[in-house]
Amino acid sequence: MSMPADPELHPSRPRREPRGGASRGGTARSGASRAGSADRPRRGAKRTLMGTIRELPNYLRLFYGLFRDPRVARIDKILVGAAIAYVLLPTDLIPDFVPFLGQVDDVFLLVTSLQRLLSHAGRRVVAEHWPGSMDEISEMNLERVVGAAAFFLPSRMRRRLRMIGRV
């Protein structure tokens, strides 16, 4: 008796649910595979954030340069100053002494603020102050970082930080 091919290896074949189904309790094996697949997005999100956390000094240099740039509007400078203060102060919504999560809220606020600055001040002005690779501040990468940070933050905190970042 031959075993049917795995539908995950052949995406063109439709995937069949086990007879027990998830709604009827399922099997222990299917539950374990679901738990393993739920871990994958979390690991990817954590990897994305760890790369961005390593870039925090570059983000702070960027924001300091934008704060001093005369081409940046006053309201945007207030936003930049608030974002710098939020990152540098050890006590915020998630205190920075909490490993990893203490930096996630900082990254979320910095990136949402940077998205606003890119649309208001312009990509050219931001690029002049960015010391890293331009790929790091591409729109697609910034969206990926915001999504990864949002994965770890409670929804109420995301709303508050987004409100601060987009004033």
Structure tokens at 126: 């931001």
Predicted local confidence at residue 62, as pLDDT: 92
| Confidence (pLDDT) at 13 | 47
pLDDT value, residue 71: 94
User: Tens-digit pLDDT profile for the chain (167 aa)?
Assistant: 444 554 444 445 444 444 444 444 444 444 444 444 445 557 788 888 888 888 888 988 999 999 999 999 999 999 888 888 888 887 777 777 878 888 888 888 888 889 889 999 999 999 999 988 888 889 999 999 988 888 888 888 777 777 765 54
CA 75 to each of CA 46, 105, 120: distance values in angstroms, whole numbers, following the listed order:
32, 22, 10
Sign of CA dihedral 133, 138, 141, 146: positive
Q: Determine the Cα–Cα distance for residues 67 and 78; give it in Å rounded to an integer.
A: 8
State the amino acid at position 74 in one-letter form. Answer: R
Model pLDDT, residue 45 = 85
Residue ranges covered by each domain of the chain? 46-166
Q: In this structure, is the dihedral angle defined by the CA atoms of residues 79, 80, 82 and 83, taken in order, positive or negative?
A: positive
| Greatest C-alpha distance within the chain | 75
pLDDT in the model for residue 7: 47
pLDDT at 37: 43
Question: What's the N-to-C CA distance of the chain in angstroms?
Answer: 65
**Is the backbone of residue 4 left (phi > 0), alpha (psi -120 to 50) or beta?**
beta
Closest C-alpha to 63, from 50, 78, 48: 78
Sign of CA dihedral 126, 131, 135, 139: negative
Cα separations (Å) of 160 from 32, 78, 106, 123? 35, 17, 12, 26
Phi, psi of 96 (to 5 degrees): -70, -15
Which pTM was predicted?
A: 0.66
**Token code pair at residue 122:** 């312009």
